[in-house]
Chains A and B, each alone.
Chain A
Amino acid sequence: MNHVKVDETPARSTEPAEPAPRADPPPAARGGRLAAGTLVNVAMVVLIGYLVLVPLVILLYSSLKASTTQLPFQVSGFSFTNFVNVFESSHFASVAGNTALYVVGSLLVALVLSMCLAYLMERTDIPGRRFLAPMALAPMAVPVTVMAIAWALVANPVNGPLAVAVREVFGVDIDIYSLAGMILVMGIFGVPSMYLTIAPAFARLNPELEEAAAAVGAPLRRRLRLIVFPLVMPAVSAAAMLLVVVALEGFAIPAILGLPKQIFVFSSQIQYYVQPPTGLPNYGQASSYGVLLLAVSLVMLLVYRRRTRDAHRFRVVSGKGYRQTRTELGRWRIPVFVVVCVYLAVGIALPILTLVWTSFSPFVRPVSLSGLGSLTLSNYSTVFTAPGMGQILLNTAEVVLLTATVATAISAWLAMSASRRRFPGSTFLFEATFLVFGIPSVVLGFAILFLYIFFPVPPIYGTVWIIIVALVARYLPRGSRMVQTAMLQLDDGLVEAAQVTGARPFTVTRTVLLPLLSPALRKCWLWIFAQALGELPIALVLTSPDNRTLVVELWSIFTSSGDYPTASALAVLLLVVSTVAVWSVNRRGAMEES
């Protein structure tokens, strides 16, 4: 009764996603299903290769084409002229200098803030931790474009409430439209991700180590320097590398806060070459800047990977049996609490409050009680009744929903193939997506732009689809790693137990693997959804009259028309949707932990 079927192909390649069969199909049908499975695999390999490798090749290709005003494909022969031009210009030195200052500065700001916060929240008895810790993470829910605009509103030298207050109290002029302003905003923006990496390291710190030092009479300062910092260094340096990459490629902050005073960093310079306010784009220069930026990012990411490779092994270790003893702040307890509250109020709450205030105001004005009477909804009605707004909302919905769905689906397939080694090279394919991680989004945007100008098949140039293609490529590395992490935490026995019952691979995937992965998939979807909503540079570089999205509309209202109240209303809309998505990610996470 137990008919044993014999299969000639190697085991590694015989787990294609195939439809569940009726019992014992004839050999021919079986071969057909195998072929179908292989076809799906091949199609996915081609698709991912296309999304990952083609932009890189196009970027390198166009950087070697000496063009100033022509498209790269119209130039014959290869040369290093672009790179020579870049290095010879005095402008390059200033851009490189700005970039270095910007990246290092924001790293320092983020590092100091997140280390202090993580230590205070995890290791001391500061009051109100339950309320302060989520507050410190709140900027995560704010799209970076919205964050930059909020800061421009709150601290601009003309009428920003913060700038005005500082001038009145301290007699100092502050200007957010400066390198220092960019550094401050990027630093604060970088705190949540850094905090999330560092805080577990602080939480894991064996309190006994610190207690032992306290027992021999070492004062708090020495305990911090000699015991705590060396133990959290691995997490800190990993978080730092990642922040450097994010700051390097970040576009919205340098563009919104730097461009008005012509302060360029790499990413904003590239966009400026591709879409200059006047004159023709200089693709050659843009490409060579892109290659340089990519090289720096990749080096940082490789260092990051080396650092985190071993760290993963210790992540599983649970802090079971730890007695959470916290350092007592003593008489500093209240002053420290006040300082943290002031930071949270000024650094996070005030910009958002100003943004919301402006969105309900008839014109830009400081937050005041007297203004309460003249609050208006007219900005929102302007937003919704503006010509073309329906199309923009539709475009945005299409872009974020399709990007999140498609990227999650491909990520799931990729991570499952790689960790179950469905076919030869599946692991390599997974690793290859890491390259996209290193491509700054401005660069990815115009690489895709070139691709469809040069090779318009399918003809998606100017449609929302070109943005979706670029965004899917962009979120594939992070998405597939999210799913893979979840897969690694799954016990192999869960899948194997289903396999040996005789269930088909497709059935196993459908009934066991996907349900077990569904929390991770949902999280991945929401994460990509929130990211895609606020992703400015790709949408901006690929924009055309028919595929404008909310974030591009926000950018153009803010930078060109200067109608700040309307821009604020748009920004608040983005903020609300993004916050709901991020909140539900975290709520799910919290529910699973409990």
Chain B
Amino acid sequence: MTENMTENVAGPAKAAPGRSIVVDGLRKSYERNAGDAAAYAIDGVSFDVPEGQFVTLLGPSGCGKTTTLRCVAGLERAQGGRIEMAGQIVFDASQGRHVRPEDRPIAMVPQSYGIWPHMTVLDNAAFPMRHGRNRRRGEEVRRRAMEMLEQVGLQSMADRWATQLSGGQQQRLAFARALLGDPEVLLLDEPLSNLDAKLRAKLRQELRSFQEKFEIAALYVTHDQSEALALSDTVIVMNQGRIEQIDGPERLYDHPRSSFVADFIGSANLLPVEHTSPGPDGSVLAKTGVGAVLCGRSPAAPDDRSGNGGFVCVRPENVRVRAADEGTPQAGDDEILGRVETSEFLGDRLELVVRAGDVAITAFARADLGSRPGDDVSLAFDPASTSYLAS
């Protein structure tokens, strides 16, 4: 207690400027006695959310993304690590410090929106100003709430019961309510997952434009990779309680750092590697079941470029397909012979699954290629778009 008091008086540690949230070494187990062998729901998660940026936690269900968000909100309490928010420490396990959710400068849009059915639309929106941390009085409450409802296109519904709103309108109301709390950080927990596909795409754009307009930092949780890529400045890919990679959407797609990321974001051919040796210009020559593959994208550290195991990753759109009778079929270093297993015509392209040796490779070919199952084709990988992943 005394320790904490001193810490309190001494003031919070200096936070780096320009960062709305800093999460450092967060760990949480749902087991009662979190011993060494305990399974962690999140295990050593560190990241930060710069001011005004849109950051997404992406991962399959059970990867710990929602738990992380709830720890940031203060709705759950981690066993280890530290969270800073707007320059103040709001959670520090080593000091036993935990700021309650109502005292953190946040707003949240829960998965189910949390629209109160016993209030009108206006009452819902005005709740943060009437009862929240930045309380206001008098006419201003109604005026600001109406302004915000107008922004989200709900001004005509203000006096209706909240239950009369459709799914998309509820989502907008939840967003308006969150913004009316004047938060430093907006937390969104899969807010689009309860909507149908068309509405989801529309609201996705709205969400992003609101966030940019109000210049508010957002931490967004989703399991939908296309949502994450479309919305975010930065994507944090999580798996089994750990962070796999933190990068911008393009880099994440082009330069996945692990086979998990490659497979989770978009589709990828992952060829198991027997052993590797350094190639020219920092590239890697990987020996796979279909022969040696030259990978232009490779780990930065030279030590990682030679060894055993790992995967060659190549996206289907980066596999060049040629009918085997177009030229002399030759099994060289850069060409792989295979036989078409399935072929699906998708209008703009032909999606082929080609068996070469004991691996199946997916490739997107020109729609006019006309390959049928059973045809022989030859495949080629472009070294510049082929990655070697150590894990």
A residues at B contact (CB < 8 Å): 1-2, 4-8, 10-12, 14-15, 20, 23, 491-505, 507-508, 511-512, 515-516, 518
Contacts and interface: CB of A to CB of B under 8 A. Distances in A.
Nearest to A494: B114
A449 B272 CA distance: 79
Contact of A500 (B102, B116, B134, B184): B102
B110 A496 contact: yes
B131 A497 contact: no
B174 A501 contact: no
Interface in B94-119: 96-118
Given A2-B86, A8-B97, 17 more contacts: A1-B134, A4-B85, A5-B99, A6-B8, A8-B1, A8-B96, A494-B112, A496-B110, A497-B114, A500-B104, A501-B107, A501-B127, A501-B128, A501-B181, A502-B103, A507-B131, A511-B127
Given A493-B112, A501-B132, A501-B133, A4 B104 contact: yes
B99 A4 contact: yes
B177 interface: yes
Interface string B1-37: 1001100100010000000000000000000000000
Interface in B173-232: 174, 177, 181, 184, 187
A7 B132 contact: no
In the complex, the 7 A-B pairs of residues with the closest C-beta atoms, listed nearest first: A502-B133, A497-B114, A493-B110, A493-B114, A501-B132, A2-B105, A501-B128
A491 B114 contact: yes
Contacts of B12: 4
B82 interface: no
B270 interface: no
A515 B162 CA distance: 14
- Highest count of chain A CB atoms <10 Å: which of B86, B100, B109: B100
A479 B177 CA distance: 34
B331 interface: no
Contacts of A23: 133, 135
Given A493-B111, A516-B118, A11 B134 contact: no
Contacts of A504: 102, 131
Nearest to B90: A4
Contacts of B184: 2
Contacts of B114: 491, 493-498
A500 B131 CA distance: 11
Interface in B141-184: 174, 177, 181, 184
- Highest count of chain A CB atoms <10 Å: which of B99, B102, B104, B174: B102
A4 B98 CA distance: 11
A5 B118 contact: no
B230 to A, nearest CB: 24
Contacts of A491: 110, 112, 114
A520 B88 CA distance: 41
B74 interface: yes
B131 A511 contact: yes
- Highest count of chain A CB atoms <10 Å: which of B97, B103, B105, B187: B103
Given A500-B73, A515-B118, A516-B117, A7 B103 contact: yes
- Highest count of chain A CB atoms <10 Å: which of B96, B104, B118, B133: B133
A498 B110 contact: no
Nearest to B117: A516
Contacts of B4: 6, 8
A242 B322 CA distance: 74
Contacts of B174: 497
B242 interface: no
A502 B134 contact: yes
Contacts of A494: 112, 114-116
A183 to B, nearest CB: 47
A287 B135 CA distance: 59
Contacts of B134: 1, 502
Contact of A7 (B88, B99, B177): B99
Interface residues of B, number: 49
B175 to A, nearest CB: 12
Contacts of A11: 74, 77, 98, 100
Given A5-B99, A497-B108, A502 B116 contact: no
22 contacts: A2-B105, A2-B133, A4-B90, A4-B99, A4-B105, A6-B89, A10-B77, A10-B96, A15-B100, A23-B135, A494-B114, A497-B174, A498-B131, A500-B74, A500-B187, A501-B107, A502-B132, A503-B128, A504-B102, A507-B131, A511-B131, A515-B118
Contacts of B177: 497, 501
Given A494-B114, A497-B110, A503 B104 contact: no
A4 B112 contact: no
B38 interface: no
Nearest to B73: A500
A497 B102 CA distance: 10
B384 interface: no
B127 A498 contact: yes
A517 to B, nearest CB: 10
A4 B88 contact: yes
A5 B74 CA distance: 13
B12 to A, nearest CB: 8
A31 B27 CA distance: 29
Given A7-B103, A494-B114, A511-B131, A500 B98 contact: no
A503 B89 CA distance: 20
A7 B98 contact: yes
Nearest to A507: B131
A12 B98 CA distance: 10
A5 B100 CA distance: 8
A217 B272 CA distance: 56
A495 B73 CA distance: 13
Contacts of B110: 491-493, 496-497
A507 B129 CA distance: 13
Contacts of B88: 4
A194 B174 CA distance: 43
Contacts of A5: 99, 103
B116 A512 contact: yes
A6 B102 contact: no
Contact of B75 (A10, A496, A502, A515): A496
Contacts of A518: 118
Contacts of A505: 102
A5 B133 CA distance: 11
Nearest to A22: B135
Contacts of B115: 494, 497
Contact of B131 (A7, A10, A503): A503
A4 B12 CA distance: 10
A496 B77 CA distance: 14
Contacts of A20: 131
Given A498-B127, A500-B73, A501-B133, A516 B116 contact: yes
Nearest to B98: A11
- Highest count of chain B CB atoms <10 Å: which of A8, A495, A499, A502: A502
Interface in B263-308: none
Contacts of B101: 496, 499-500
Nearest to B77: A11
A515 B131 CA distance: 15
A503 B74 contact: no
Interface in B351-373: none
